[in-house]
Amino acid sequence: MNAHLKIAAATLMTMAALTACGGDSYTSNSADGNQNQSSSLASVPVESLNADEQASLLYIREEEKLAYDVYIKLNTQWGGSTPTFGNISNSEAKHQESVHELLVRYNLTDTASSLSAGVFNNAKLQNLHTQLVNTGATSLVDALKVGAAIEEIDIIDIQADMAKVDNQDIRLVYGNLMKGSRNHLRAFVKNLANQGVTYVPQYMNPSDYQAIINSPTEN
């Protein structure tokens, strides 16, 4: 397991204790990670893996690492103002583990597991990480907007890959990742509202965005 994942797992209870009462907090739930995932996958057959599915798994694994790495960095800077980055980074650790479990299931090498924080195989993700960290360092509001943008990107990318993936186990995990990302997006938007800021989606179709924001937190 990636050293970052071990650290996140070890500190999960500690970070949860930091969750404050009120609208600026976020507590992970069963939709955000791999809780009971192993037992669910055990009932689903391992199917043949095509090139699109393999590429998707490797990319989504690294994209979840990006979210985790950015949130850990932003929590270092802004954790004193809000526990949200720390709490959501715990969920992103679970997201990474969820995809890692699929890679193991299909005998694929988890090429992201040996990478240091902020380092990526994919050049697009490497550049995006640099951009997001730099933007998030500017202010708490900018950091919260970065969080919302990450969740938008995750939702868009997983939705696109769902159209190319038919393996039941991958669709099961991706469905859980989508729930988690929608919950995270709601949390960041609520945090911004508490700061007096109305968030405008940076990547999503406005109607798709509103459908998520106007619906309740998912379990």
User: What confidence category does residue 99 fall into, taking pLDDT thresholds of 50, 70 and 90?
Assistant: very high
* Residue 140: partners with Cβ closer than 8 Å, 6 or more residues away: 78, 81, 82, 195
Q: What is the value of pTM for the model shown?
A: 0.85
Residue 39 has what pLDDT? 67
Q: Read off the pLDDT of each residue in 85-95 and give the average, rounded to a whole number.
A: 96
Closest CA to 147 of 101, 113, 195: 195
Q: Read off the pLDDT of each residue in 63-74 and give the average, rounded to a whole number.
A: 98
Give one word for 28, left, alpha or beta, with left for phi > 0 and alpha for psi -120 to 50.
Answer: beta
Residue 13 has what pLDDT? 31
Amino acid identity, residue 2? Answer: N
Q: Read off the pLDDT of each residue in 73-85 and give the average, rounded to a whole number.
A: 97
Percentage of residues of the chain with pLDDT beyond 90: 79
User: What confidence category does residue 163 fall into, taking pLDDT thresholds of 50, 70 and 90?
Assistant: very high
Mean pLDDT for the chain overall: 87
Whether 139 has a pLDDT exceeding 70, the answer reads yes
Least confident of 1-15, 20-34, 119-133, 158-172: 1-15
Distances (CA, A) of 188 to 17, 74, 113, 201: 19, 13, 27, 12
Q: For the chain, how far is it from start to end, CA to CA, in angstroms?
A: 26
User: What confidence category does residue 8 fall into, taking pLDDT thresholds of 50, 70 and 90?
Assistant: very low
Residue 18 has what pLDDT? 30
User: What confidence category does residue 31 fall into, taking pLDDT thresholds of 50, 70 and 90?
Assistant: low
Radius of gyration from C-alpha coordinates of the chain: 16
Residue 25 has what pLDDT? 53
